[in-house]
């Protein structure tokens, strides 16, 4: 009564909304019905008003429900019409489309010719796993082979039809079975020991064991074959072991009890003494079968308490993992390092590992905050220059992410997920070439999806070690294990028609097969037949749960553990139907099972297994589970204090020799073996800093645009995405504005940067030629061209000798720069990314953008200044390496390739100093190395030798 009054007070005190469940207690009709014999119902206007309000609310709720059903129906009709149209526009087809289109082609005009063609190509058919077919597949096979003399074999076990969530339709299989001439049943079980086969036979060999009479059960027979023997001196010989959960435990307590019991028994089995054939039982011989990731996680945690590691086979989507969320946060911050909110979110991930206190302190230290932003900006630049995977590998190394994750609980699981996600992102980038934003958006989209689009998106095993296997029942189909645990057979509530799954409130659309309509699939949105149809849906659901239980119990070779009790949703479970069927209800009815269980006490359920044990000659053993017994068990695997020499023997490494190839780059060679993946531009020298201090330029222009790596990344990003031939037509200002915001710069620079871009495009790139970037269309350019080529035993002294021999070292600046190179005996691969390769009038040019600041006037970017900068920053070595890369690239792709005819030269654009009025005398460094030098470098990098 107090709860009803409190709910009524809350309703009357607030805005009109949902009426509480106890509201009807205050209506006149409810008061009248609640009267005891001879009583008089209280009368008051309030009760009459409640009656009126409840009637109005009920009418409104009904109207809303009908409106929602109509909305669902219109949405489905719209999607059915719109989806094919959108797919056609994008030239996309799903696997379902392939089936639908083939079926349509077979049924329409011209179908006979297609049937004849297919029969010529496939003169016989053997279709395995046919219990998982669907109406469309069945229609296709029927159309092809019905009426022909071609032999067709449909192989399937309806007892193992467990993939309805994928669209499999058991009724399509049953219909197909009716139409074949001969039926054959395989009854020999080659997997399990005879006593286990007897136990499964005893459970399932009963009337309506799978609810539908069409799905019968034939007693299995053991195969006559040599078998390994499981020897358990302490545990006895029973092959089927039931742990009984007392009724006093609620659902959550039962989960904990069963998880602890399972882990404890596994620990006992692995502690020593249990033999499988001639070998000790190992973790890889044991599987724990679960229905959900939640159940699997409870088992994994319980095993960890026992000191036992496990691997989890799952069909869960790796994009739904915690690591996917954290990776998205990190990549968003790298994409927009100037956004403080994104930065803080990234720093708090397990990968970067800052504490909440560390992150809070960043708000008090501007220098530390800027340092973190620059840290991510470096990754941003590397990502733009070299792609996602090189950036990600560098990130893993620099931030020590593997070491950090492996220190955490489930570290191997976390790291495996992260590696799998990185591979999927790399593959998408490789196949689709998205922008940075496009790749992050794809990750966000995949995270928002609720199911895996591809089998490769399913979570991988974290290890191939010999560990306990935690496997979903769906994933276990077709597999076998010496010892199997099925700890959650008592959890099996029916979900059809309930919002939010089992235990949810409200109605949810559901699917069923109409027995009055030849079992055609029907989607029930909310018709007047809702309750009647729900009976059919839940019957189908229970039948599939029974098939799942059958699959689980038949995975074991030598021993099977089962947990059971009248707890949780056991009254709606498959095992409950098998052990305590409601005999007085019509065939297949499951509605009375739950109520039946309410009346059963522990003794009835426990004695049922005792009865089964007697029938199986004690091959089945049942024990009561309780925490006291668990606490008395020494579950943790003991460690021998005096290990033998064999125990301490190191693993043998099977590979005789370890070949190690180093990957290097221009940056590593030019900067004395430093990090090969740091930005290679915008390095401020002492001379340029001094010039900056002596010249004051208050106006906004390209010279006063901020210096440094972030500015360089911004300018590079603009040119990477720019249409050179029609910049303004294709939104130059919008592109510049977007990139300025992305890299944290004010929009006040928009006109400055846009004007600079136009000047760069219109500046002549060669003396005596009209070559300009504005003449290069997208069809004749490659952006960020990657290269890898082998190098063998190269060292800086020999490189200097080659450059001097061919007259390349022609200035003091170059002599000094070449003399400062320090590297030796480098073998492996040279890698890099060329900013731009383009073709003009049959010649190919390589081009690199440099945003280096050399001074505040155009005169600071004349040819001597550029030559000095090229030498000082080591860019001479960069374009020689790039020239060789392009030379090899063209040599492989042009049949009549000739270096002197096809190679146009190397162009280095110092963006701040370019101006069309200068005719290319300022801001453009150009060189075309001699053929002899390129050949000498080619020979040197390939062999490590200086050609004579």
Q: Which of 766, 776, 717 is nearest to 745 (CA)?
A: 717
Q: At what angle do helices 340-347 and 322-335 cross, to 10 degrees?
A: 140
DSSP 55-115: HHHHHHHHHHHHHHHHHHHHHHHHHHHHHHHHHHHHT---HHHHHHHHHHHHHSTTHHHHH
- Give the dihedral sign, CA 806/808/812/818: negative
Burial class of residue 591 (count of CB atoms within 10 Å of its CB; 0-12, 13-18, 19+): middle
730 Ramachandran zone, left/alpha/beta (phi>0; psi -120 to 50)? alpha
Pairing of strands 924-927, 903-910: antiparallel
848 is catalytic: yes
Q: Tokens 């929009």 label which residue?
A: 747
Note whether 230 and 276 are within 8 A (CB).
yes
Query: For 799, phi and psi rounded to 5 degrees?
Result: -65, -45
Query: For 702, phi and psi rounded to 5 degrees?
Result: -65, -25
Q: Tokens 């860019």 label which residue?
A: 875
Tokens of 571: 């009254």
- Give the dihedral sign, CA 815/820/825/831: negative
What SS3 class is residue 554? coil
Q: Which of 441, 456, 571, 479 is nearest to 285 (CA)?
A: 479
Residue 373: CB atoms within 10 Å: 20
Tokens of 505: 């409130």
Active-site pick, 848, 862, 921, 927: 848
CA terminus-to-terminus distance, the chain? 104
Question: What is the 8-class DSSP label of residue 758?
Answer: H
CA distances from 264 to 257, 261, 272, 919 (A): 10, 5, 14, 82
Residues with Cβ within 8 Å of residue 242, at least 6 apart in sequence? 561, 562, 563, 564, 609, 620, 621, 622, 623
Q: Tokens 């392939």 label which residue?
A: 98
Buried b (16+ CB within 10 A) or exposed e, 864-883: ebbbbbbbbbbbbbbbbbbb
Task: List, in sequence order, every residue forming a beta bridge with 830; answer none if it has no partner.
Answer: 664, 789
Residue 188: CB atoms within 10 Å: 11
Tokens of 372: 């973190």
Note whether 663 and 829 are within 8 A (CB).
yes
Residues with Cβ within 8 Å of residue 888, at least 6 apart in sequence? 787, 789, 938
Note whether 93 and 87 are within 8 A (CB).
yes
H-helix or E-strand spanning residue 827:
strand 826-840
Q: Which of 383, 363, 515 is nearest to 833 (CA)?
A: 383
Tokens of 890: 């063209």
Catalogue the active-site residues.
Answer: 848
């Amino acid at each position: 009564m107090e709860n009803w009054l409190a709910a009524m007070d809350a309703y009357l005190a607030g805005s009109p909304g949902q009426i509480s469940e106890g509201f009807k207690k205050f209506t006149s009709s409810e008061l009248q019905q609640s009267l005891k014999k001879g009583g008089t119902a209280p009368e008051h206007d309030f009760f009459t008003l409640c009656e009126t309000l409840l009637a109005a609310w009920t009418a409104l709720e009904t109207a809303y429900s009908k409106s929602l059903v109509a909305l669902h129906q219109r949405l489905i009709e719209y999607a059915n019409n719109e989806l094919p149209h959108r797919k056609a526009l994008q030239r996309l087809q799903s696997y379902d489309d392939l089936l639908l289109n083939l079926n349509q082609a077979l049924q329409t005009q011209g179908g006979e010719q297609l049937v004849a063609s297919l029969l010529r190509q496939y003169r016989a058919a053997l279709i395995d796993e046919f219990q998982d077919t669907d109406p469309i597949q069945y229609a296709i096979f029927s159309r092809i082979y019905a009426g022909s003399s071609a032999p067709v074999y449909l192989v399937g076990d309806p007892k193992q039809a467990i993939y309805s969530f994928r669209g499999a339709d058991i009724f399509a299989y049953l219909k197909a079975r009716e139409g074949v001439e001969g039926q054959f049943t395989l009854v020999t079980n080659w997997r399990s020991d005879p006593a286990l086969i007897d136990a499964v036979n005893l459970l399932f060999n009963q009337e309506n064991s799978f609810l539908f009479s069409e799905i019968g059960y034939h007693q299995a027979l053991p195969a006559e074959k040599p078998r390994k023997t499981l020897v358990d001196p302490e545990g006895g010989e029973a092959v089927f072991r039931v742990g009984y959960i007392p009724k006093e435990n609620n659902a959550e307590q039962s989960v904990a009890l069963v998880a602890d019991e399972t882990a404890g028994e596994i620990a006992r089995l692995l502690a020593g003494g249990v033999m499988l054939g001639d070998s000790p039982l190992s973790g890889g011989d044991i599987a724990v079968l679960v229905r959900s990731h939640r159940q699997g996680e409870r088992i994994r945690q319980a095993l960890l308490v026992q000191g036992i590691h496990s691997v989890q086979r799952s069909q869960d989507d790796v994009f739904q993992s915690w690591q996917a969320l954290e990776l998205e946060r990190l990549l968003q911050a790298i994409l927009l390092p100037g956004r403080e909110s994104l930065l803080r979110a990234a720093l708090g991930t397990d990968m970067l590992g800052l504490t909440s206190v560390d992150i809070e302190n960043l708000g008090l230290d501007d220098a530390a905050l800027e340092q973190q932003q620059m840290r991510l900006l470096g990754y941003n630049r590397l990502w733009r220059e070299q792609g996602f995977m090189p950036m990600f590998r560098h990130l893993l190394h620099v931030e020590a992410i593997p070491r950090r994750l492996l220190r955490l609980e489930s570290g191997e699981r976390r790291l495996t997920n992260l590696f799998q996600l990185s591979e999927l992102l790399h593959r998408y980038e490789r196949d689709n070439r998205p922008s940075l934003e496009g790749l992050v958006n794809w990750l966000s989209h995949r995270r928002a999806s609720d199911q895996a689009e591809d089998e490769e998106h399913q979570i991988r095993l974290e290890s191939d070690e010999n560990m306990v296997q935690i496997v979903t029942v769906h994933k276990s189909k077709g597999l076998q294990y010496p010892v199997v645990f099925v700890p959650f057979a008592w959890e099996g509530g029916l979900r059809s028609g309930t919002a939010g799954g089992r235990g949810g409130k409200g109605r949810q659309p559901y699917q069923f097969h109409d027995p009055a309509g030849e079992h055609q699939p029907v989607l029930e949105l909310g018709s007047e037949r809702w309750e009647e149809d729900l009976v059919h849906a839940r019957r189908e659901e229970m039948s599939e749960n029974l098939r799942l239980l059958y699959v689980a119990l038949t995975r074991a070779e030598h021993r099977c553990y089962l947990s059971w009790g009248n707890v949780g949703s056991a009254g709606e479970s498959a095992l409950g139907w098998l052990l305590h069927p409601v005999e007085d209800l019509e065939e297949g009815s499951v509605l009375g099972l739950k109520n039946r269980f309410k009346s059963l006490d522990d003794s009835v359920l426990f004695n049922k297994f005792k009865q089964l044990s007697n029938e199986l000659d004690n091959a089945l053993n049942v024990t009561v589970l309780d925490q006291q017994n668990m606490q008395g068990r020494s579950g943790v695997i003991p460690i021998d204090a005096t290990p033998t020499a064999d125990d301490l023997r190191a693993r043998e490494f099977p590979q005789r020799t370890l070949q190690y190839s180093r990957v290097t780059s221009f940056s590593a060679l030019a900067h004395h073996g430093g990090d090969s993946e740091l930005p290679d531009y915008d390095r401020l020298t002492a001379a340029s800093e001094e010039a900056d201090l002596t010249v004051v330029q208050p106006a906004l222009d390209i010279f006063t645009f901020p210096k440094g790596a972030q500015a360089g990344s911004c300018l590079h990003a603009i040119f990477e995405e720019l249409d050179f031939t029609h910049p303004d037509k294709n939104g130059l200002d919008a592109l510049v504005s977007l990139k300025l915001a992305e890299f944290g710069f004010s929009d006040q620079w928009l006109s400055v940067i846009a004007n600079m871009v136009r000047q760069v495009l219109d500046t002549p790139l060669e003396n005596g030629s009209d070559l300009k970037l504005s003449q290069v269309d997208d069809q004749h350019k490659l952006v960020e061209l990657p290269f890898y080529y082998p190098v063998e035993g190269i060292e800086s002294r020999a490189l200097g000798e080659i450059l001097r021999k061919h007259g390349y070292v022609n200035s003091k600046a170059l002599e000094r720069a070449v003399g400062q190179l320090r590297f030796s005996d480098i073998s492996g691969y040279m890698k890099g990314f060329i900013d731009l390769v383009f073709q003009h009038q049959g010649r190919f040019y390589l081009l690199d953008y440099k945003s280096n600041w050399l001074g505040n006037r155009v005169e600071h970017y004349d040819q001597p200044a550029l030559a000095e900068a090229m030498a000082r920053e080591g860019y001479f070595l960069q374009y020689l390496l790039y020239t060789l890369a392009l030379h090899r690239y063209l040599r492989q792709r042009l049949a009549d390739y000739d270096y002197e005819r096809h190679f146009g030269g190397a162009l280095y654009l110092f963006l701040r100093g370019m101006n069309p009025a200068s005719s290319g005398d300022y801001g453009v460094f150009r060189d075309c190395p001699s053929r002899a030098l390129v050949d000498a470098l080619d020979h040197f990098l390939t062999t490590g030798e200086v050609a004579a």
